[in-house]
Homo-oligomer: A and B are copies of this chain.
Amino acid sequence: MTAASACTVAVATPDARYDILIAAGLFAEPSAWAGLPASAQAVIVSNPTVNALYGDALAAAISRHHQNVSRVLLPDGEAHKTWDSLNLVFDHLLAQGCDRKTVLYALGGGVVGDMAGFAAATYMRGVPFVQVPTTLLAQVDSSVGGKTAINHPLGKNMIGAFHQPARVLCDLDTLDTLPPRELSAGLAEVIKYGPIADMAFFDWIEVHLDALLARDRAALARAVRRSCEIKAAVVGEDERESGLRAILNFGHTFGHAIEAGQGYGAWLHGEAVGCGMVLAADLSAELGLVPAEFVQRLARLVQRAGLPVRAPAMAPARWLELMGVDKKAEAGAIRFIVIESPGRAALRQVPDETVLRVIARHTETAGAAA
């Protein structure tokens, strides 16, 4: 391991304790894989692209812990986060005669992690799994905290489970092969941690954004570590999202509506979240919580990160409908994560007309009219 950039973040929930390892060269470092659950069978869940890049390295890294390591490859993209894809995992597990000690390894981004995790949560009512995230978004967000899910035609992540991984291994080297658009999408979730929890980190991102975009190893290590620290602290206090954890969804109510409204995959999740954060920040300003300068500062950083800041044109009724079925909706009222003051987020119920006013101001066709 590159000592300069190697670190461990511990996660502790009422249900589980596990480590997030963050370093370059993890696949080649036996100590990173020591102490994982032992089993005869292990299954790597990945997609064809990531498997071609890192499948053999992962198989080699875990070969001493399992007699039989097989792989199941799922079609890539949010549009495939479906029951049909999930069933490919179950078919494989049963065809291989996998028992309830079998360990699943999720090798890939958020889609693979969510599906492998949900498969692990429900195969024989639960088997252990290990997250090996290969995208920035998965390393800083989706692989940590135990949220697993698939989509339903009527809503994203509507069917899922909380199931904590046994370990999360973030090999920073894998970010070298990430397409630029995916790197930007991951930066949206990194930026998110600033407004909701740590404005000093936000300041740091502003200064180091070019280094992050250039994939500077030390900058990435720090961004992943600080993101994971914040997420681990939040998840440790509220594993099941009964309160605090909802702040991690800053920008996500708008973002989910964009993703669902445009068809899963048209916008990357991180792109929708990037744009959604700008809208959510402006909603906070509209409520008098933060100054307009804060919204502009966030929008500037989002844009510099290569992310869209204008929402796609959709009818107001469609926006409300798409946000109404979001999981943060309770009993018919839409609640938003807003910034109470820079660095602190909260859940607020907001009138529809306020929401629509903000959306209109940031929509591609209607933007100039606001």
Give me the interface of A with B, judged by CB distance under 8 Å: 39-41, 83, 87, 90-91, 94-95, 97, 99-101, 121-126, 147-149, 152, 154-155, 157-162, 240-241, 324-325, 327, 329-332
- In the complex, the answer to whether A160 meets B324 with C-beta atoms within 8 Å is no
Given contacts A121-B161, A159-B90, whether A99 and B154 have CB atoms under 8 Å apart is no
A355 CB, min distance to chain B CBs, angstroms: 17
Given contacts A125-B147, A125-B160, A161-B161, whether A40 and B331 have CB atoms under 8 Å apart is yes
CA distance A87 to B40 in the complex (A): 33
Q: How many copies does the complex hold?
A: 2
- In the complex, the answer to whether B155 meets A94 with C-beta atoms within 8 Å is yes
Chain B residues with CB under 8 A of A125? 147-149, 157, 160-162, 240-241
14 CB < 8 A contacts A-B? A39-B331, A41-B331, A90-B158, A94-B152, A94-B154, A94-B158, A95-B154, A100-B330, A101-B331, A122-B160, A122-B161, A124-B158, A125-B157, A125-B241
CA distance A149 to B39 in the complex (A): 24
Smallest CB gap from A87: residue in B: B83
Chain B residues with CB under 8 A of A123? 158-159
A100 CB, min distance to chain B CBs, angstroms: 6
CA distance A160 to B325 in the complex (A): 25
Chain B residues with CB under 8 A of A97? 324-325, 329, 332
CA distance A176 to B66 in the complex (A): 53
Knowing that A90-B159, A122-B122, A125-B147 touch, tell me 12 more A-B residue pairs with CB under 8 angstroms: A83-B83, A90-B152, A94-B158, A94-B325, A97-B325, A99-B331, A124-B160, A125-B161, A125-B240, A126-B161, A126-B162, A161-B161
Chain B residues with CB under 8 A of A325? 94, 97
Chain B residues with CB under 8 A of A126? 161-162, 240
Smallest CB gap from A15: residue in B: B15
CA distance A329 to B324 in the complex (A): 45
